[in-house]
Structure 1
């Protein structure tokens, strides 16, 4: 079975990590993963052949896309040719497309020719859309949903929704689910867990002290960090006077070097703080910590739940996605929602201390095996392909 998986990330890197988790679950099958975002320094799963197209990213105002290197029109042409050549050479049984057509509208330029090429084959690949639980709001929702259905229904054989329908259903942010012609499968959340069995093992493997309190701070890809990591650093400095702890802060691979260096300089006021760019072992760090304070992106949130860790999360304010998910999950008891007012350092220090001292109950029932459930559906669909 040959699988071609397309994923495009333009701002954060959560889409890439979610795609990699699904591909890893498909082992021992080989997956050809095509990516179109800026390079991220992480190892690919052993069963993945990675094909990096010339990178495109979103500008800081979400207004347009930019080529990471070179001229945009040339980048588009190179990508379109590369994608079609790879598809023709591979002749996949399954074409898995992340987010589109529920998002990534601008990438229809390269994806619609790919779908047309597939349709012309004597034996077309089964085409699946892989989409998260919550869609970003649109100015004209009716127009958006009509466009999605216009691309989805003629070209796709199924939709994988990476959510637990008992918590969040796709129709919460897409009202015309009933008009989708192909099957819609809820896979559960794609939640990458730790590689180690427990906190003691995680601390030993990561070279962390076996005893004492550890606070983990992170801001996802690091594209925007100052509004969150600065208050966390100041709060941790204040908290250190009354609750000794070790602070481990990850700025993210997209954080500007000067921002990381500025936080490193400020960390010298803390008795035991480290500031690092990135770790491919983030879930193991989550398992090792007593409290995680972070942005509320899909992947970080699911890492937290998969590890059974306590977390405080501040939703990114540009759209509704993170807030909607965190408000739904807050009822489970492991996640505390940080409002903007909570980021005042002395207030944040109090919130962090309270979270560390509270007793944590068991995690409510939630489907967190979305990678494995997605892989099972892909295998079944490929096996049933005419």
Structure 2
């Protein structure tokens, strides 16, 4: 077992994928007896369960849109230097109080550049700590394509300077991290694949039985999908099934209320539910965006699906993931610019011809493998070459 605490830094700015993965890891670590502390930088989400981990909620920050260019605080004000300093100091005080043997940063250095004001001091504190603190990156399988190619070299520089290991939560036989990172040779010695972070819930529910489930993760940028789904039901081969729209808390209540009021007969509109993965087990079809966690849940449940990858603001990650699945007849896809009730209904009909996805050949045990790797690595202090010191 890991002797000293694990401190996980996680920040979601728009969706909820990052905190969902971090929560799965935190739950497993805490369940194994490891003191686990999560520095949570976003707005709390009632459907995310961190289990027995201790939560430290930093002053929350979010992105105003998909460009991630503007971050705002809990009062929807741009981040001031004073605000940044207060949050940085709270994070450093947390590190000192926890005295972690492991610091895990979710995504960084492969994203979250806008949080360098706190992450660079945090990592410097960890690397200068005695006894040694392991510095480990936790990252999904696919990176967003960078507009500036120089950013990839910068990521590699930071990884080599500051990190002891990079855990990629994927399966290289499915899609390799290196396929979206153009300098794999520079970080190969740090990379370890854990398999996908997928956990079956120990929940029994009759909700969703033989229904069409329509979901979009946190839901903040999801209205076009939900509106198209409401229009597609009457046009589709599943027009006689209940369609259930599960809307995340990222969609403001007033807009949720409008959707609920406009829902036609046969369409249920409700907030996202904690039993979503159990509902997938017996649904007729899933219609969703193509984020990491949603796709992993769909594959684990063996549900037929139509994916509408989120692509606003130059986002590429979900489209790449969806195309991989379509190429292997594991799903059908409607690209966001082509989304209409008609195109969605046609994709539904096509998806019904698919076999249920079989993931027996994929590494889906990423939660247990992450705990095992952290336990193995941290049985000794980190070994660092002098050239890698700050």
Matched, 1:320 2:323: no
Aligned to 1:16: 19
Mind listing any 5+ residue stretches in structure 2 that lack a counterpart?
Answer: 383-390
State the 1:49 CA deviation.
0.5
State the 1:363 CA deviation.
4.0
Alpha-carbon distance change, 158 to 353 in structure 1, aligned in 2, over 3 angstroms: same
Cα RMSD (Å) = 2.0
**TM-score when normalising by structure 1:** 0.90
Aligned to 1:156: 163
Matched, 1:84 2:81: no
Aligned to 2:151: 144
**2: distance between equivalents of 1:294 and 1:181?**
33
**TM-score when normalising by structure 2:** 0.89
Aligned to 2:301: 307
State the 1:341 CA deviation.
6.7
Aligned to 2:220: 223
State the 1:52 CA deviation.
0.7
State the 1:101 CA deviation.
0.6
Alpha-carbon distance change, 149 to 348 in structure 1, aligned in 2, over 3 angstroms: closer
Aligned to 2:387: none
**Alignment check: 8 A CA contact 1:156 1:182 kept:** no
**1: distance between equivalents of 2:155 and 2:301?**
35
Aligned to 1:65: 71
Say which SS state the counterpart of residue 288 (structure 1) adopts.
coil
Aligned to 2:198: 191
**2: distance between equivalents of 1:357 and 1:185?**
37
**1: distance between equivalents of 2:220 and 2:47?**
17
**1: distance between equivalents of 2:222 and 2:153?**
36
Alpha-carbon distance change, 359 to 382 in structure 1, aligned in 2, over 3 angstroms: closer
Q: Of residues 244, 249, 253 in structure 2, which corresponds to 1:248?
A: 244
State the 1:364 CA deviation.
5.9
**2: distance between equivalents of 1:342 and 1:43?**
32
**1:1-386 correspondence runs (5 A):** 1=3, 2-26=5-29, 27-28=31-32, 29-42=34-47, 44-60=49-65, 61-69=67-75, 72-73=79-80, 74-141=82-149, 143-180=150-187, 182-196=189-203, 201-203=204-206, 206=207, 213-239=210-236, 243-267=239-263, 269-270=264-265, 272-317=266-311, 318-340=314-336, 343-356=339-352, 358-360=354-356, 362-363=358-359, 365-385=361-381
State the 1:183 CA deviation.
2.4
State the 1:379 CA deviation.
0.9
CA-to-aligned-CA distance 1:194-216 (integer Å, 9 cap, x gap) = 425xxxx542xx4x66xxx3100
Mind listing any 5+ residue stretches in structure 1 that lack a counterpart?
Answer: none
CA-to-aligned-CA distance 1:161-201 (integer Å, 9 cap, x gap) = 111101211211212121127521011111233425xxxx5
Alpha-carbon distance change, 382 to 97 in structure 1, aligned in 2, over 3 angstroms: same
CA-to-aligned-CA distance 1:13-72 (integer Å, 9 cap, x gap) = 100000011112222223101110112113533321011100111121422211122662
- Number of residue-to-residue matches in the alignment: 372
**2: distance between equivalents of 1:51 and 1:128?**
19
Alpha-carbon distance change, 45 to 138 in structure 1, aligned in 2, over 3 angstroms: closer
Alpha-carbon distance change, 243 to 222 in structure 1, aligned in 2, over 3 angstroms: closer
Alpha-carbon distance change, 180 to 339 in structure 1, aligned in 2, over 3 angstroms: closer
**Alignment check: 8 A CA contact 1:190 1:370 kept:** yes
Say which SS state the counterpart of residue 178 (structure 2) adopts.
helix
